C-alpha cells in the first residue's frame, strides 16, 4: 500500500515540477529532504506517532526551511507531516527519480564487476546497457564484487543480465552433475 501511495505523491510532485520546469531541482531537493529525515537523531522524532502532530509539523517545516527547498517540496513535506506519512519521503524520492529518468530518456544501471573496470571496459559496458535499454543516456553505478570471479552483471531496473564467471561456473557444474550437454 505504501508503495502505491508514494508513487501517487511522486507523480503529483512530478506534474507540478513539469508545470514549473523544475524537474532536476526538485529531484535534488527531494533527495536532500529524504536524506535529512533519515538522519538518526531526527528520524525517530518525526516518525514517532506519539509525538505531538503540531510539533512534528513545526519540525518538518523548519527542516524544509533550513534546507531552502522550493515551495513545492516544502508543501509536500508539510502535507506528509500533517498526515503522519513522512516515512514515505525516501520512496517518493525514488519514484520521482524514475519518472524523471523516463521523461529525460535516461536509464540507471548498476554494473557489478570482480575488479575495477578500465575506462574502455566501462564505456563498452555502458554502450551495451544503452543498447539493451534503448535509452539515449545511461547513468551507471559501478560496484566491485570479488565474489563474481570475473565478468560483469548489469542491473537495469531490476532486470539482471549476468555475465559473471561465478554464474557460468555454476551452470557448468549443474550441467555436469546432471550428466547433460
User: Is pLDDT above 80 for 156?
Assistant: yes
User: Is pLDDT above 70 for 129?
Assistant: yes
d(CA 61, CA 69): 10
pTM for this predicted structure: 0.77
User: Is pLDDT above 80 for 49?
Assistant: no
The CATH number of domain 2-101, selected from 1.10.10.10, 3.10.105.10, 1.10.520.20, 3.20.20.70: 1.10.520.20
Residue boundaries of the structural domains of the chain? 2-101, 105-177
Per-residue model confidence as pLDDT tens digits over 55-110: 889 999 999 999 999 999 999 999 999 998 998 999 999 999 999 998 998 999 99
DSSP codes, 97-150: HHHHHHHHTEEEEEEEESSPPPHHHHHHHHHHHHHHHT-SEEEEEEEE-GGG-S
User: Is pLDDT above 70 for 1?
Assistant: no
Q: Give pLDDT, residue 42.
A: 85
Amino acid at each position: 500500500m505504501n508503495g502505491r501511495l508514494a508513487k501517487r505523491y511522486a507523480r503529483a510532485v512530478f506534474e507540478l515540477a513539469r508545470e514549473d520546469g523544475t524537474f532536476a531541482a526538485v529531484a535534488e531537493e527531494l533527495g536532500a529532504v529524504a536524506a535529512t529525515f533519515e538522519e538518526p537523531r531526527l528520524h525517530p522524532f518525526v516518525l514517532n506517532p506519539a509525538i505531538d502532530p503540531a510539533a512534528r509539523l513545526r519540525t518538518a517545516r523548519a527542516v524544509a526551511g533550513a534546507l531552502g527547498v522550493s515551495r513545492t517540496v516544502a508543501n509536500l513535506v508539510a502535507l506528509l507531516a500533517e498526515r503522519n506519512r513522512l516515512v514515505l519521503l525516501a520512496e517518493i524520492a525514488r519514484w520521482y527519480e524514475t519518472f524523471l529518468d523516463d521523461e529525460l530518456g535516461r536509464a540507471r544501471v548498476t554494473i557489478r564487476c570482480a575488479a575495477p573496470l578500465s575506462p574502455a571496459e566501462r564505456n563498452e559496458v555502458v554502450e551495451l546497457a544503452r543498447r539493451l535499454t534503448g535509452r539515449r543516456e545511461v547513468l551507471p553505478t559501478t560496484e566491485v564484487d570479488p565474489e563474481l570471479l570475473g565478468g560483469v552483471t548489469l542491473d537495469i531496473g531490476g532486470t539482471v543480465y549476468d555475465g559473471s564467471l561465478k554464474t557460468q561456473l555454476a551452470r557448468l557444474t549443474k550441467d555436469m552433475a546432471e550428466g547433460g550437454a
